[in-house]
Structure 1
Amino acid sequence: MLHLLPVAALLLLPVATPQDQPLPEGHSNHGEAFNEGPRQAGSLMAGQGTVDFPVTTDSDEVQALMNQGVAQLHVFFYFEAERSFRQAATIEPENPMLYWGMAMANVNNADRARKFLAVAREKAESAELSRRETLYLDALSALYKEGDGIDDQDRRQGWLKGLETIVQEFRDDLDARAWLAMVAWQNSRQDGIGSREAVSLLIDSVLDRNPMHPGAHHYKIHLWDRQDDTQALASAALFAKASPGIAHAWHMPGHTYTNLKRYADASYQQEGSARVDHEYMIRDRVMPFMIHNYAHNNQWLAESLTKTGRLADAIAVARNLVEQPRDPKKNNARDSGSPQREGRRRWAEALIAFERWDELLEAEASGALDWSSEPAEQLRRAYAAGLAHAARGEPDALDERIAALKELLPKPEQNEEQEAPEGDSGEGPRPPRPLPGLEAALAELEGHRLVLEGDLDAAFERFGSADSMRPESLARLLLKAGRTEEAVARANEAVEKAENEVAPLAARVEILHAAGKLDEARAAYLSLREIAREADPDLPVLRRIEAILADWKARDGWQAPPQAPRSDLAARNRVDLDRVGPLCWSPFPAEPIEGIDTEGKTHRLEHYRGRNLVVLFYLGGDCAHCMEQLIAFSNNADRIRATGAEIIAISTDGLETTRALKDNGEVHFAMPLIADPDLDHFQRYRAMDDFEAMPLHGTFLIDAEGKVRYQDISWQPFLDVEFVISELSRINRLLGRDSAPVAGPRLRSHDALQRTSGRPGSRKGRPGLNLDDARVGQGR
């Protein structure tokens, strides 16, 4: 047998191909396209949306999974849509429309889509398909047609015309109508759209027949996005109700409400999206980086929460992004859209907006913000901390941050041999441009430094170059300098630039009051109260306004009239989000481990409590790539243990075969090898292809508390040892922060926050903004 060969020779074996040897372990028997995508079993899920997409089948379960997959396609839940179709194919493997569905689910991967479509076409040759099903295959084939002279525009038009044919012949096919509207909108990116109103009427014809069709609501929001978002308000209010179990159905209305500057409604939708994602991820053991728009939604949620004054939740969401697992392929320090980078940005912005200077410096000093070494990140770091030092009146510390920004300026030697851009008529090299935002950040911090010196004229001149300076911050400085009318003008400008945001609205109330503009200040307060219904009452600026309200009441008995509850469509369709899922992601508990190694020692997961654990699932001694992985990790076992972690490997082989591998006499395996011939552990950890009943490679990082912090399940083994070592060190830092102090509550990892009662994100009992109530401002 292969596993009895010398291990060194095993590693030199060629990769198997279907022509000469059996497929390598972990590879699908159905072809390359089936290696990727979901390989764990699917099921009928709640809240996916209601559609009726009949196909030729004798199975009610296949039809139900088909309907579910189509509904998921309409909401761009492509990974789960493919799983629905794959699950149905375990029942009817010869049904062509199931492979059509798999191709539809790979709209962002043309290579895989073509391979699935080829399978569908092949199976269609011996199947009895309806005219409608044949037209769907033809339409999709036009989208992926290849050949000389065929370009993307030809493909898009072919897809559109194919859908038009279905609509013309089958007037009751609502899904074809919805997709036709989608394609008309998508094609507009390249070819323009003839009539947005005509496409909207096409969508309405679907909603007339099925008022909760998920695709129709989805495409209407996209159609009017940043064009005339008021046209999509009804769909924005109903989309999440149409598909409540899919996060994207919650997310998309956030576009509509954000564009209309209705940030409370936007944050509600984005929070719902986050909570649905987290419920799904906990249930199905999904890592955050596996969801393509996860970072986008959650950073946007943190931004929207900040605009509405829900600072505690904004920080919780942003910090959660910073602390989440990384992946060497899907996010890293250089990725501008990584969850960690976006989380740091939104966390710092939230603290700056509401003057939480002590908290900002605590997060900076403790390493919680975890800034990367990238220049853009170092710019944000120095700028944010510099603002905090300026507000606290710390000139020496502010000087250090100014110096840090100056270090990021282009050096003189970088001016040499800089080529002018194409079309530039100037002569000689051009100096390199500084980082975007660097000059503005430097101007603002230097302006603050001049304020501390008392040179106000020079300070305001320097602020003139600080394009990114918050207008309300400048307004407050102008007020302190006695330039009252300028301060009022800047405060009004702040509200105009950041319409319907709590921080500038609150600043305007303060500045108008200080300027003696009583009637204007009270009107500004009423505007603030309407926007800040959900704001945290203990924000510094709201506490100051509480004192202003007390002054008004003492002066002439003025009190704000009672505030009417909201009764618009969006408000009427709200649900209790605490019942949807948790606000933030947290690592899920590892499954039990109990196995015997080659020395006869029993290993249980609880034996490793208090230490991080690396678990490698490998596909036996026959797998050459597995041997490569075991050797790579063995060579670095001391470095792994230096982080305080242990490492074990679990094999598909029996104990005697595993013992023969361990005692091979040529290659040393530095970790215990545990036999699992019955695949009990592989099944518990979902390192299985359920569709083909075969084990898969798996790499898991389990923290000292027994929770999974990272996982990679694939047809290929995970070989990036350097990433594992780096991530183990980061896990140690996260676990060590549970007791780190912070202003406000405590600066803890989000796992600890999730375990506390009254955690951020709980909407039950939220008092909202009621500044007329004497209890406001007394803390929580």
Structure 2
Amino acid sequence: MLSRLTLSLFVLLGVGVIVRAEEEPLPEGHSNHGEAFNEGPRQAGYLMEGQGSVDFPITTNSTEVQALVNQGVAQLHVFFYFEAERSFRQASTLEPDHPMLYWGMAMSNVNNAERAKGFLKVARDKAEAAQLSRREQLYLDALSAFYKEDGDDKSRRQGWLKGLEKIVQEFRDDLDARAWLAMVTWQNGRQDGIGSREAVSLLIDSVIAKNPLHPGAHHYKIHLWDKQDDTQALESAAKFAEASPGIAHAWHMPGHTYTNLKRYADASYQQEGSARVDHAYMIRDRVMPFMIHNYSHNNQWLSESLTKTGRLNDAVLVARDLVEQPRDPKKNNAKSGGHPQREGRRRWSEALITFERWDDLLDATASGALDWSDEPIEEVKRAYTLGLAHAARGDLNLLDDQIATLKALLPPTEEPSDTAKADETKTDETKADETKADETKADDDSQDKPKPAPKPPGLDSALAELEGHRLLLTGETDAAFERFGKANGMRRESLARLLLAAGRTDEAVAKVKQAVERARNEVAPLAAQVEILAAANQIDDARAAYLSLREIAREADPDLPVLQRINTLLTTWKEQDGWQPPALEPRSDLAAASRIDLNTVGPLTWSPFPAQPLEGVDTDGITHRLEDYRGQNVLLIFYLGGDCAHCMEQLIAFSKDIDRIRDTGTVVLAVSTDTLDRTVTLKNNGEINFTMPLLSDPELTSFRRFGAFDDFENMPLHGTFLIDSQGNLRYQDISWQPFLDVDFVVSELSRINRLLGRIPGPVAASR
């Protein structure tokens, strides 16, 4: 009888198709509990600091289970769903038949209905044999109403709300039910209208009265009043991070309140705290940035807020960090709007434009640091930013190059042609007849012609602004400002400066006033107003604007070009009539009083963490140690033995492309769960040439060390790791299925080399 190893190889060689018999185990890496358990955290949970204080009693005699449940519920309230699921999973290792632990896993998957339903089914199945309390049964019923198969979205949401209401009615001291009732009322209000926002706010206040630091209460109050009346949430904005200091989202959410109130320094403080907490968590628990679903959102917003307060250097640092972080084919790729690399490029270039750092912008592009992709939306942004820099330097030829790049992105129908010019001489009747004929022909041809690519957003505005700059440089002033009028994305203070330079002083003053009104409490437009008012000889108004600027620019970088120019103005004023501003008063509001030193929270930016040590013997008896490969990259593949058909597919894919991988200066090592004897049999199979060393780890020591192990089910997992030449872990994929994207690996290794300034030579073939 053929071994499973031989069968796996035959399948991959096309010799035959093997169908898994029902009595055979699931494919390697798959959870034995069902599909819902494949995803999510599969490493052990623990009691973490700063998650929030709640009391959510369940029927248990285990203090550890209760502590993990309390932690999981607190994490649910702060939308820390990945770790909430881990908390409930960890508790289930102690009490695997407790239905409420699977209820908690379902609650942790609000963004994945199929997984939530899978966990909820387990919870209901286990509830049949469990002795649930009335309160626990009501929680299970309420969530079941939300995920019922029949009924429309509105009825399901109402069922969830009514279920929570019933808990509140029967258990008046259940603060979590009250908080969730407020949350669901706010969420349902998006579709149906919230009714009385004040009534929901009073419900939240009743929770805070009993638990002043209830994380859910402060969280939902911020959401409730977001962009409605944010002053109502100021107390919660000041308290939320204190309620759950170990969760980044608790720091981030107050940034909504402060941003809406144009308090950008406070918003920056909160968002910076969020970034630092996230980075401390990533380093401690070895988590990749792209694994946190709102990480990009938090950090691009931080960069934007820092720019508005004039903290340009930190804004660029945060944005650049987003660009340079690990990529991922699904969660951080060039085509995905809103993911770290694209958001980082956007905020980085915007920050440099805002404060006229043209040389920095050109250098970041020329060096490849900005790493623009070839997606049309980014091609527009790249050409636009470069065009502005060349215009500022008066380089007409290079500006023309960027204008040409933008025009090339216009859909073909928008290109002027001789036919279009000839149409201008035709009568309306002729045009009407031809239009009708064209429509008929278009209907006939519609099945044959591909639709033209849509125009990238922002293209028209970018082209209008660059063409306006070109007209200015060639002395066509009126035409230039007419063209600027079509550039709806143009910064108003930039236009005001151009109006001033063209001698249109009154228009410049009016435009910069508009800029300040539209971008209240932002450093860049207010600084421009100081300059323009002074140039217009409106000295008293310029000095008043400076006093406002000084208040919001307390944390601004002093070397900003605009601030250096204003310092020259201040010197002139002092020399002319002795004017100097009074001393700044210290801030004394609630937000300022609650601040701590953020350096104690965690690092501002992400950095790769050192790879764990690894040592193993290959099929030739050679010992490989990770530390021996310093100076070279290492691609480390953990596979689940020769019986795993998908693992064989992975090894074959990477074996076929081994030369491309080695050309990036990378050594490939594959570590197996098999014994060394079985690994030797696989290596010497006589059919497939595995071109990388195959190491044996039957004790799973390295699997556990690298986290390629399911602690809940005590089983190994597939793992792919990229380790740079300095020994730092740059990328990891740990999953129930093997990673097969060779092109991504080659691309990411090449990018890592660029980040480290390496020009690697090819790695010699392994023995």
Q: Same fold (TM over 0.5)?
A: yes
Q: Which residue of 2 aligns with 1:123?
A: 126
Give SS of 1:616's match: strand
Q: 1-side partners of 2:520 and 2:358: how far apart?
A: 24
Q: For residue 4 of structure 2, what is the aligned residue in structure 1?
A: 2
In structure 2, the residue matched to 1:769 is none
The number of aligned residues is: 730
> How much has 1:671 moved relative to structure 2?
0.2
Structure 1 residue 14: deviation in Å?
6.5
**Cα deviation digits, residues 448-504 of structure 1 (max 9, x gap):** 112222222222222222221111111111112222111111111110111111000
- Is 1:631 matched with 2:657? no
For 2:697, the equivalent position in structure 1 comes to 676
For residue 343 of structure 1, what is the amino acid of its counterpart?
G
Question: Residue type matched to 1:367 in 2?
Answer: G
| Match status 1:389 vs 2:410 | no
Report the AA paired with residue 676 of structure 1: D
Q: Does 1:100 align with 2:121?
A: no
Q: Which residue of 1 aligns with 2:190?
A: 189
User: Structure 1's 389 and 500: CA in aligned 2 closer, same or farther, altered over 3 A?
Assistant: same
Query: Which residue in 2 is equivalent to 1:376?
Result: 377
The answer to whether residue 60 in structure 2 is matched with residue 49 in structure 1 is: no
Query: Aligned with 1:44: secondary structure?
Result: coil
Q: What is the match of residue 262 of structure 1?
A: 263
Residues 311 and 536 in structure 1, CA contact (< 8 A), matched pair in contact too: yes
Aligned ranges 1:556-567 → 2 under 5 Å: 556-567=577-588
Once the two structures are superposed, residues 590-630 of structure 1 have per-residue CA deviations (whole angstroms, 9 ceiling, x without a partner) of 11111111011111112221111111000111111111110
In structure 1, stretches of 5+ residues that fail to align are 423-428, 739-780
Match of 2:71 in 1: 68
Report if aligned partners of 1:655, 1:674 keep a CA contact under 8 Å in 2: yes
1:598 and 1:674 in contact (8 A); partners too: yes
**Aligned-pair distance for 1:15?**
7.6
Counterpart of 1:466 (choices 487, 490, 494) is 487
Quick one: distance in 2 between partners of 1:35 and 1:518? 68
| Match status 1:512 vs 2:494 | no
Query: Which residue identity lines up with residue 514 of structure 1 in the other structure?
Result: A
In the aligned structure 1, how far is the partner of 2:20 from the partner of 2:233? Answer: 52
Range that drifts further, 468-477 or 339-348? 468-477
User: Aligned partner of 2:396: which letter?
Assistant: P
Query: Which among 496, 499, 513 is matched to residue 492 of structure 1?
Result: 513
Matched ranges for 1:337-348 at <5 A: 337-348=338-349
Whether the 8 Å contact between 2:11 and 2:18 is mirrored in structure 1 is: no
Cα drift, residue 155 of structure 1? 0.9
The residue matched to 1:595 in structure 2 has which SS?
strand
Task: Give deviations 1:144-195, integer Å, cap 9, x for gaps.
Answer: 1123xx1111111111111111100110000000000000001111221111
Letter in 2 for 1:660: T
Tell me: CA distance 1:417–1:89, structure 2 relative to 1, closer, same or farther (3 Å). Answer: farther
- SS of residue paired to 1:646: strand
Matched, 1:146 2:167: no
- Does the residue aligned with 2:671 lie in a helix, a strand or coil? strand
Tell me whether 1:554 sits opposite 2:541 in the alignment.
no
Compute the displacement of 1:241 (Å).
0.6
2:209 is paired with a residue whose SS is helix
Which residue identity does 2:272 align to in structure 1?
E
CA distance in 2, matches of 1:239, 1:454: 56
1:507-542, Cα deviation, whole Å (9 max, x unpaired): 000111111111101100010011111100100000
Instruction: Quickly say closer, same or farther: Cα 1:539–1:590, change in 2 above 3 A.
Output: same
For the 8 Å contact 1:16–1:23, the answer to whether it is kept is: no
Question: Do 2:7 and 2:18's aligned partners in 1 also have CA atoms closer than 8 Å?
Answer: no
Q: Show the counterpart of 1:690.
A: 711
Counting only pairs closer than 5 Å after superposition, residues 333-482 of structure 1 correspond to structure 2 as: 333-412=334-413, 434-482=455-503
Q: CA 1:472/1:414 → structure 2, altered by over 3 Å: closer, same or farther?
A: closer
Q: Is the 8 A contact 1:658 1:674 kept in 2?
A: yes
- Give the 3-state SS of the residue equivalent to 2:26 in structure 1: coil
User: 1:432 & 1:592 partners in 2: Cα distance?
Assistant: 50
Q: Separation in 1 of the partners of 2:287 and 2:143?
A: 30
Q: State the Cα distance separating 1:376 from its structure 2 match.
A: 1.1
Distance 1:99 1:531 in 2: 49
For 1:478 and 1:168, the matched residues in 2 are separated by 65
> What is the distance in 2 between the residues matched to 1:11 and 1:60?
54
> Aligned partners of 2:340 and 2:648: how far apart in 1?
33
Distance 1:97 1:737, change over 3 A: same
Aligned AA for 1:226?
K
Contact 1:322/1:344, CA 8 A, preserved across alignment: yes
Q: Residues 433 and 40 of structure 1: is their aligned pair in 2 closer, same or farther, counting only changes over 3 Å?
A: closer
The CA distance in 2 between the partners of 1:650 and 1:197, in whole Å, is: 60
2:720 equivalent in structure 1: 699
Q: Answer whether contact 1:16 1:22 (CA < 8 A) is retained.
A: no
Deviation at 1:642, TM superposition (A): 1.5
CA distance in 1, matches of 2:339, 2:357: 25
- Pairs within 5 Å for 1:565-576: 565-576=586-597
Sequence identity (%): 74
Q: Tell me: CA distance 1:410–1:113, structure 2 relative to 1, closer, same or farther (3 Å).
A: same
Query: Structure 1 residues 15, 44: closer, same or farther in 2, change over 3 A?
Result: farther
Query: Is the 8 Å Cα contact of residues 322 and 341 (structure 1) preserved in structure 2?
Result: yes
Alpha-carbon separation, structure 2, partners of 1:51 and 1:333: 41
Compute the displacement of 1:430 (Å): 12
Residues 8 and 642, structure 2, Cα contact 8 Å, conserved in 1: no
d(CA) in 2 for partners of 1:737, 1:485? 54
Relative distance call for 1:641 and 1:419 in structure 2 (3 A) is: farther
Do the aligned partners of residues 737 and 632 (structure 1) sit closer, same or farther apart at CA in structure 2, a change above 3 Å counting? closer
Question: Which residue identity does 2:679 align to in structure 1?
Answer: T
Structure 1 contact 505–528 (Cα < 8 Å) conserved: yes
The whole-number CA distance in structure 2 between the counterparts of 1:430 and 1:646 is 45
Distance 2:263 2:17 in 1: 60
Give the Cα separation in 1 of the matches to 2:701 and 2:603: 30
Question: 2:71 aligns to what SS in structure 1?
Answer: helix
Secondary structure at the aligned position of 2:284 is classed as: helix
- Equivalent of 2:550 in 494, 505, 529: 529
**CA offset at residue 107 of structure 1?**
1.2
Within 5 A, what are the aligned runs for 1:756-775? none
**Are 1:296 and 2:317 matched, yes or no?**
no
* 1:354-373 Cα distance to aligned partner (Å, 9 max, x none): 00000000011111111111
Instruction: Letter of the 1:645 partner, please give it.
Output: T
TM-score (norm 2): 0.93
* TM-score, scaled to structure 1: 0.91
The offset of 1:562, in angstroms, is 0.9
Contact 1:6/1:666 (8 A) holds in 2? no
Letter in 2 for 1:7: L
Aligned to 1:225: 226
Secondary structure in 1 matching 2:110: coil
Give distance in 1, aligned partners of 2:440 and 2:189: 37
| Residue type of the alignment partner of 2:209 | D
CA distance in 2, matches of 1:631, 1:402: 47
Cα pair distance change 1:685/1:15, threshold 3 Å: farther
Give, in whole Å, the separation in 2 of the partners of 1:287 and 1:252. 22
Q: How big is the shift at 1:737?
A: 7.7
CA shift for structure 1 position 445: 1.1
Cα RMSD (Å): 2.1
Contact kept, 8 Å, 2:54 with 2:70, in 1: the verdict is: yes
> Aligned to 2:51, what secondary structure does the other structure show?
coil
CA contact (8 A) 2:388 2:466 kept: yes
CA–CA separation in structure 2 for the residues paired with 1:201 and 1:420: 64
Q: 1:737–1:633: structure 2 CA closer, same or farther, 3 Å change rule?
A: closer
Ranges in structure 2 where 5+ consecutive residues have no aligned partner: 417-436, 444-449, 760-767
Are the counterparts in 2 of residues 236 and 253 from structure 1 also a CA contact under 8 Å? yes
Q: State the shift of 1:411 in Å.
A: 1.6
Equivalent residue letter for 1:502: V
Q: Name the SS of the counterpart of 2:155 in structure 1.
A: helix
Deviation at 1:412, TM superposition (A): 3.8
Indicate how the Cα distance of structure 1 residues 568 and 16 shifts in structure 2: closer, same or farther if over 3 A, else same: farther
